[in-house]
Amino acid sequence: MAAPVPLYRSLLVRLLAASCVIAGCAIAATAWIAASTATSALARQQGQTLQTDTDIVSQLSGYAVGHTDWTGVAPLLRQLTERYQLRIALVGTDGKMISDSSAQPAPLPPSDIATIDPLSFDTSTTPGVQKPGLDPRVIGPYQLTPDESNTLRQMADKGLLCLTKYGGQAQLVELLSGRYVLQQSGAPQRATDICGNPNQYVVPATPTEVKPLADLAAATSACLVHERLPVPPNLSVTTAFQVQSSQPASASMKPAQQCLQTARRDQLRPYVAAPAQLYLGIGTTAREHFDLSGPNRSKIIWTAALVLAVTVAVTALAGLRLVRPLRALIYTARQDPADFARAPVTTRDETGYLAMAFNQLTERREQMDAQRKAMVADIAHELRSPLTNIRGWLEVTRDGLVEPTPDLITSLHDEAVVLQRVIDDLQDLASADAGTLRVHPQPIAALDLLQQVALAHRAQAADLGITVEVHAEPGLDVYADPERIRQVLGNLVSNAVRHSASGAHVTLTARPTADGVELSAQDTGCGIAQADLPYIFDRFWRSEKSRNRGTGGSGLGLAIARHLVLAHGGTITVESFVGVGTTMTVRLPPPC
């Protein structure tokens, strides 16, 4: 039997490896496409979402700046909903619904995304970076009149003109309140010395700003008193909403600035709408869908083409390596059976072992063909000799050359018996090959069985000076077909007598074993060469190649004996040494 195929050469492992390569390429390509597409989509979605949220918060805060309540916010919500395809809901800090863009009631999201309060607003210009402060659009009582704004514009123009005259760089910026600020980007020291601080031209408070700034300073002082903090002397508030006093380096300036921010929120609160919580996302008017862009579509197509190419290449390579030895095996199998062609063995996997098994089968078929031819020749030889003798004696008797004496008739009868024996042996072998050889076992006394066999051959053995002995335990029974087992033992004794010289001994023995009964025929004859032992049960095999009937039989006896023993469910073995003798042993199982 062929050795097992190593795993690394196994056809199954190779097929699995090819499948894993293909699957790995497909998985990697799919993962890469999914990751890249999802990453870009998420980046765009996050950017769009952040920009959308920022814009909505900014517009709603702008509405709150210009209105003291949320009564008229519904049109703005509908406008934003149509633009961004989102449901937008505003809920008061007391939990009551202010306004909802959804036409039908729907549950709110688990949490709000922001609180719309102009007095606590993201003052950063970078979206997502929260720096709470006042919405610069909240003006309140600080809105200047046109005349006041023009006056400040003229003052600012003087400062700008001075800076630019001496090489400075600045620009004039108008605030929402109507006030102007000079933003200086660079100026030589000479321009600074001559012109001074550019914003000094627009710092003075206008009549509109005087009272609110005074009220803001008073509220700041009250806050410091309430917090039990020192109040800076001569505390006042500038138009840039910074605290100043006669002692600007005082340690109480920082708490004063914090109180100023609180007081300013309280001052501006009546001018803006109350804080409201913003909810987004539930109940969108349009469902989101995945839009496969042109670059992504091209990426998928090229990746699929690459995966397909790799799949075809790997499959073709694996298929060619697998099919090539199979084609060679098919070509060999189609050759003329008489040539006994061998298949080339080029691999060490399953296909290689298949080719080896095919070659072994061819070798056995060649051997069987040679045995068949030899058997036909042997059968012809075995039948030709007695038939030739019978025909010759009958022809000379017919021609009157020999009288039909009793001896002649006896001789012809013996030749006919030889023919009958060969034919019976061939019939037994044919029955064994067809599976129709039947035995009818029954209990037989072992001692009686051996004595019957010895008695049948004792006369012939005595003529040759050979003794036949029997050894068996009394009461030992053999479960076998009486006629067939006598045929087996008779053949063994006949061979022992035939191949023993005068003075030899043939011993028949029966003994019980753990798994049945053992019957043996032992002689002290010439023995069998070790090289011939594997062939003694083959049909028509004889150690004496000339097939002289004087030194041997037809060569079928031991073959038939083996089939009869196998039909009983037993075994037959031989042990022999040249010049010492031969022991043939039959082991029969106990009755079922």
What is the residue-averaged pLDDT of the chain? 80
Mark whether 153 and 264 lie in a shared domain.
yes
pLDDT in tens, 327-386: 788 888 888 888 888 888 887 777 788 888 888 988 888 888 877 776 677 677 667 777
Q: Under DSSP, is residue 100 helix (H, G, I), strand (E, B) or coil?
A: strand
Predicted confidence band of residue 124 (pLDDT cuts 50, 70, 90): very low
Whether 592 has a pLDDT exceeding 80, the answer reads no
Could you identify the residue written with the tokens 């040679």?
A: 370
Q: Which of 46, 182, 44, 62 is nearest to 122 (CA)?
A: 62
Token pair of 397 as six digits: 């008797």
Residues 130, 149 within the same domain: no
SS in 3 state form for 267-315? HHHHHCCCCEEEEECCCCCCCCCCCCCHHHHHHHHHHHHHHHHHHHHHH
User: In the 8-state DSSP scheme, what is residue 542?
Assistant: -
Tokens of 174: 């108008």
At residue 127, the pLDDT reads 41
The pair of three-digit structure tokens given for residue 444, joined into one six-digit string? 């037989």
| pLDDT band at 587; cut points 50, 70, 90 | very high
Q: With a cut of 60, say whether residue 74 has pLDDT above it.
A: yes
Domain of 446, CATH number, reads: 3.30.565.10
Lowest mean pLDDT among 252-256, 439-443, 481-485, 525-529: 252-256
Q: Output the six-digit token pair for 410.
A: 């006896």
Same domain? 118 vs 60: yes
Structure tokens at 565: 């023993």
pLDDT for 344 equals 87
CA distance 85 to 283: 9
Please tell me whether residues 5 and 62 are part of one structural domain.
yes
Burial 560-591 (b: 16+ CB within 10 A, else e): bbbbbbebbbbebeeebeeeebbbbbbbbbee
Tell me how crowded residue 41 is: count the other CB atoms within 10 A of its CB: 14
Query: What predicted TM-score, i.e. pTM, was given to this entire model?
Result: 0.43
57/110 same-domain check? yes
Q: Which of 280, 282, 227, 283 is nearest to 252 (CA)?
A: 227
Contact 219, 263 (CB under 8 A): yes
Let me know the angle formed at the C-alpha of 474 by 568 and 563, rounded to the nearest 5 degrees.
15
d(CA 590, CA 513): 10
List the strands of the sheet with 505-513, edge to edge: 467-472, 505-513, 516-523, 581-588, 571-577
CA distances from 466 to 454, 493, 503, 581 (A): 12, 11, 5, 13
pLDDT of residue 122: 62
Same structural domain for residues 95 and 121?
yes
If asked whether residues 287 and 361 sit together in one domain, one would say no
Question: Is residue 281 pLDDT above 70, yes or no?
Answer: yes
Angle between helix axes 350-398 and 406-434 (nearest 10 degrees) is: 160
The average pLDDT across 59-77 equals 88
Let me know whether 560 and 515 are in one domain. Answer: yes
pLDDT classification of 1: cutoffs 50, 70, 90: very low
Picking from 408, 430, 452, the residue at the C-terminal end of a domain is 430
Please say whether the beta carbons of 500 and 524 come within 8 A.
yes
| Structure tokens belonging to residue 442 | 């029954």
Six-digit token pair at 3? 């050795």
Rounded to whole angstroms, the Cα distance separating 254 from 243 reads 9
The more confident residue out of 266 and 352 is 266
Q: How far from 216 is each of 261, 353, 361, 563, CA to CA, in Å?
A: 10, 101, 112, 127
**Containing domain of residue 549, as a range?**
438-588
Q: From CA 424, how far away is CA 419, in angstroms rounded?
A: 9
Q: Are residues 86 and 33 in the same domain?
A: yes
pLDDT tops 50 at residue 289: no
Domain boundary among 253, 274, 295: 274
Average pLDDT over every residue of 190-207: 69
Locate the DSSP E strands across 481-515. Answer: 505-513
For the cut 90, the answer to whether the pLDDT of residue 68 exceeds it is no
Length of the chain: 592
Give the residue with greater pLDDT, 316 vs 482.
Answer: 482
Mean per-residue pLDDT, 458-476: 89
Looking at 368, 403, 430, the residue that finishes a domain is 430
Q: Decide: helix, strand or coil at residue 445.
A: strand
Indicate if 147 and 111 belong to the same structural domain. Answer: no
Q: Nearest 5°: phi and psi at 204? A: -55, 140
Rg (CA), the chain: 60
Please give the average per-residue pLDDT across 444-459, as a whole number: 89
Mean pLDDT score, 236-255:
75
| Position 584, amino acid | M
Strand partners, 445: 477
Q: Are residues 287 and 263 in the same domain?
A: no
As for how many domains the chain has, the answer is: 4
Here the tokens at position 97 are: 């619904």
Residue 285: its pLDDT value, please? Answer: 41
CATH number at residue 383: 1.10.287
Q: Are 552 and 492 in contact (CB under 8 A)?
A: no
Nearest-CA neighbor of 217 among 235, 200, 234?
235
Q: Clarify whether residues 116 and 240 are in a common domain.
A: no
Mean pLDDT is lowest, of 229-233, 248-252, 338-342, for 248-252
Q: Assess contact for 498 and 552: CB atoms under 8 A.
A: yes
